[in-house]
C-alpha cells in the first residue's frame, strides 16, 4: 500500500545508522521552499569528529535526485528570476486535471455504454470518447466494468520503482483481516493514509451492501486515485511533510471526517513506504492525531487517536521512540505484488511486516486458522512458534521463528545467533568481531550515541 518512497539513504539517527557520517532530518519548518511534492524538508550534514555542517532543503518525497532534483541551502539567497522559474516548474509538474475536473469526468464516464469505456494504460487515465484520437497510438483497456471502477488499485499500475516508489498493495487476505478487525473493534470510520486497497474494499462494500456502515477517507500521494473518488473520499496528501495538495479545502475535508460523531469510533490506518524516514512520518501522524484531538469529544486530554501503523518489525525501536504507547502485533501482513512479503513462507522468508498499534494488545484477535494462538500470560495473540520465555516473562520472538534465551546477554536472541565472548554479545557465527568500542560517530567520543550528541543541535 505504501506510496511514493522517500530519502531511504538519509537514515535517521539511531542504531541502524552506519558509516562515518550522515544526514540528520531537522524536519518541516515554516517558510520552507517547495518542489512539486510540497514543502521541502530541512536536513543537516553530519561528519564524524567535526562540527555540524551546513543545513539544506531537499524534496520530502523522492529519495533519488533523478526523480526530483530540488536542493537549496538554508542560507542561500535565491533571486526573483529563479523563484519565478521554480514556481513555473512546480505548476508544470502538477496533474493535467484537477480533482474536481476528474470527478466530473468520472460522472460522464459511468454514463457511457460498456463498449465506449476505455482506460489508457500509458497515461493511466480514464478516456472519454472525444479523447480517443489523442491517445490512438497508446495501449488501452476496453469495456471497463463497474467492478473494475470499484477496484482502481487493480486497474492502475503499481508504482514499484524501488528508487522512486514503493507501492505495494495488501493481499486480499490481509486486507479482509484488517477490515474485519476494524469492524469487530467497533470503528465506523477509517482514515486510510496510504492504504488504497483497504479504502477501495470499504468503498466497494458500502456501495453494494445496504447494512454496511463503515466509511473511509483516503489520503494518498498517488493523484491517479482522484479519477475514481469524490473530494469527500480522497485527498491528495504527502505523508512525509503533512501537505494537502488541495489546500485549505482538502484540509477541511479531513478535519470534518475526523469530527464526525464527535471524533468517536474513528481509526487511522497507515502503510508508509518502508524506506521512509520514521521521524518525518511520525511528525505527520502526530499532526493528524492533533487534528482529531481538536474535536469536541469527551474523554481524557492525553487520549490518542486509535491507530494501526503497518511497518517492518525491525523498525520497532524507532516507532516506540516517537510513540511509546504503541506495541507490535505478531500478525504478518502480506502483499500481492511483493516477491517476499507473502503469507505461508517459513523461516527467514516470512513477511517482516507487522501492525503497530496504541490499542490494547488483548483487544487484537488474530486468526487461529493461520497459526496464531492466545498467550494467557502475555494476554495477547502471538504466532505459533513464538514461545513464552519464563526468564524474560514475555513471548519474545519478533520474526515468527522461535527465539532462544541467552543467559549471558540476559535476553532472548534469534535462533541463528551465538554468544561471542570477544564482542560479549550474541551475533551470527561468522560475524566480524568488534573488539574496539565504537563511540559517537559525530564527535568520536565514547559514552553516548549520535542521537544524544551534545555537538549536534536538533529541533
Look up residue 420 and give its three cell numbers: 561471542
pLDDT, tens digit, 9 for 90 and up, residues 124-173: 999 999 999 999 999 999 999 999 999 999 899 877 544 334 567 888 99
pLDDT at residue 49 tops 90: no
C-alpha–C-alpha distance, residues 35 and 41, integer Å? 10
Domain ranges of the chain: 22-93, 99-144, 172-384
C-alpha–C-alpha distance, residues 244 and 316, integer Å? 28
Confidence class for position 343, pLDDT limits 50, 70, 90: low
C-alpha–C-alpha distance, residues 201 and 179, integer Å? 8
**What is the average per-residue pLDDT within 317-323?**
95
pLDDT at residue 459 tops 50: no
pTM of the model: 0.85
CATH class of the 172-384 domain in this structure:
alpha beta
Task: Report the mean per-residue pLDDT for the chain.
Answer: 85
The residues, any chain, with a CB within 8 Å of residue 193's CB and separated by 6 or more, are 219, 220, 237, 239, 268, 269, 270, 271, 272, 285, 288
pLDDT, tens digit, 9 for 90 and up, residues 242-251: 999 999 999 9
Q: What is the pLDDT of residue 53?
A: 80
**What is the average per-residue pLDDT within 356-360?**
97
Confidence class for position 52, pLDDT limits 50, 70, 90: low
Confidence class for position 337, pLDDT limits 50, 70, 90: low
pLDDT at residue 390 tops 70: yes
The residues, any chain, with a CB within 8 Å of residue 103's CB and separated by 6 or more, are 226, 230, 231
182: part of which helix (H) or strand (E)?
Answer: helix 172-184
pLDDT, tens digit, 9 for 90 and up, residues 176-222: 999 999 999 999 999 999 999 999 999 999 998 988 999 999 999 99
pLDDT, tens digit, 9 for 90 and up, residues 415-450: 999 999 888 899 998 888 865 445 565 555 555 555
User: What single DSSP character describes residue 25?
Assistant: E
Beta bridge partners of 324: none
Q: 85-89, 398-402, 445-449: lowest mean pLDDT where? A: 445-449
Distances, alpha carbon 208 to alpha carbons 83, 146, 191, 211, 212, in Å: 50, 11, 21, 9, 8
Q: What is the pLDDT of residue 162?
A: 41
Confidence class for position 353, pLDDT limits 50, 70, 90: very high
Distances, alpha carbon 209 to alpha carbons 203, 205, 214, 243, 265, in Å: 10, 6, 11, 34, 20
Q: What is the pLDDT of residue 442?
A: 53
Confidence class for position 410, pLDDT limits 50, 70, 90: very high
pLDDT, tens digit, 9 for 90 and up, residues 281-298: 999 999 999 999 887 655
Distances, alpha carbon 232 to alpha carbons 43, 203, 250, 268, 446, in Å: 34, 12, 9, 16, 54
Residue closest to 214 by CA, chosen among 178, 186, 172: 186
Confidence class for position 457, pLDDT limits 50, 70, 90: very low
Amino acid at each position: 500500500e505504501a506510496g511514493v518512497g522517500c530519502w531511504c539513504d538519509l537514515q535517521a539517527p539511531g542504531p541502524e545508522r552506519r558509516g562515518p557520517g550522515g544526514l540528520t532530518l531537522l524536519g518541516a519548518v515554516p517558510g520552507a521552499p517547495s518542489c512539486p511534492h510540497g514543502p521541502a524538508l530541512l536536513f543537516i550534514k553530519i561528519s564524524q569528529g567535526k562540527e555540524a555542517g551546513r543545513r539544506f532543503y531537499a524534496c520530502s518525497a523522492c529519495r533519488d535526485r533523478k526523480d526530483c532534483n530540488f536542493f537549496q541551502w538554508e542560507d542561500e539567497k535565491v533571486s526573483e528570476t529563479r523563484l519565478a522559474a521554480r514556481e513555473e516548474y512546480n505548476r508544470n509538474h502538477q496533474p493535467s486535471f484537477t480533482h474536481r475536473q476528474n470527478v466530473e469526468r468520472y460522472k460522464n464516464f459511468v454514463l457511457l455504454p460498456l463498449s465506449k469505456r476505455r482506460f489508457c494504460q500509458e497515461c493511466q487515465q480514464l478516456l472519454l470518447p472525444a479523447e480517443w484520437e489523442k491517445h490512438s497510438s497508446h495501449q488501452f483497456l476496453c469495456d471497463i466494468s463497474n467492478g473494475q471502477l470499484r477496484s482502481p488499485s487493480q486497474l492502475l499500475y503499481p508504482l514499484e520503482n524501488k528508487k522512486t516508489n514503493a507501492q505495494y498493495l495488501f493481499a486480499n487476505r490481509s486486507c479482509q483481516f484488517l477490515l474485519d478487525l476494524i469492524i469487530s473493534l467497533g470503528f465506523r470510520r477509517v482514515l486510510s493514509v496510504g492504504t488504497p486497497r483497504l479504502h477501495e474494499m470499504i468503498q466497494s462494500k458500502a456501495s453494494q451492501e445496504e447494512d454496511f456502515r463503515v466509511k473511509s477517507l483516503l489520503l494518498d500521494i498517488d493523484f491517479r486515485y482522484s479519477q475514481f473518488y469524490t473530494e469527500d473520499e480522497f485527498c491528495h496528501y504527502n505523508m512525509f511533510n503533512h501537505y494537502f495538495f488541495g489546500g485549505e479545502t482538502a484540509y477541511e475535508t479531513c478535519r470534518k471526517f475526523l469530527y464526525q460523531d464527535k471524533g468517536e469510533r474513528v481509526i487511522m490506518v497507515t502503510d508508509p513506504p518502508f524506506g521512509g524516514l520514521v521521524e518525518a512520518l511520525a511528525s505527520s501522524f502526530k499532526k493528524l492525531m492533533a487534528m482529531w484531538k481538536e474535536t469536541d469529544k469527551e474523554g481524557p486530554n492525553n487520549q490518542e487517536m486509535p491507530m494501526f501503523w503497518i511497518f517492518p518489525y525491525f523498525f520497532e525501536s524507532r516507532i516506540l521512540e516517537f510513540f511509546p504507547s504503541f506495541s507490535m502485533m505478531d500478525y504478518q501482513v502480506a502483499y500481492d505484488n511483493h516477491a517476499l512479503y507473502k503469507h505461508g513462507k517459513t523461516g527467514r522468508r516470512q513477511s517482516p511486516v507487522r501492525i503497530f498499534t496504541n490499542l490494547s494488545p488483548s483487544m487484537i484477535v488474530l486468526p487461529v486458522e493461520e497459526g496464531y494462538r492466545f498467550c494467557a500470560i502475555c494476554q495477547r495473540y502471538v504466532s505459533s512458534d513464538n514461545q513464552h520465555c519464563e526468564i524474560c516473562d514475555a513471548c519474545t520472538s519478533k520474526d515468527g521463528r522461535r527465539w532462544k534465551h541467552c543467559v549471558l546477554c540476559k535476553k532472548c536472541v534469534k535462533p541463528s545467533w551465538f554468544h561471542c565472548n570477544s564482542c560479549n554479545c550474541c551475533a551470527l557465527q561468522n560475524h566480524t568481531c568488534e573488539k574496539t568500542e565504537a563511540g559517537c560517530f559525530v564527535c568520536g567520543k565514547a559514552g553516548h550515541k549520535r542521537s544524544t550528541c551534545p555537538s549536534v543541535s536538533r529541533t
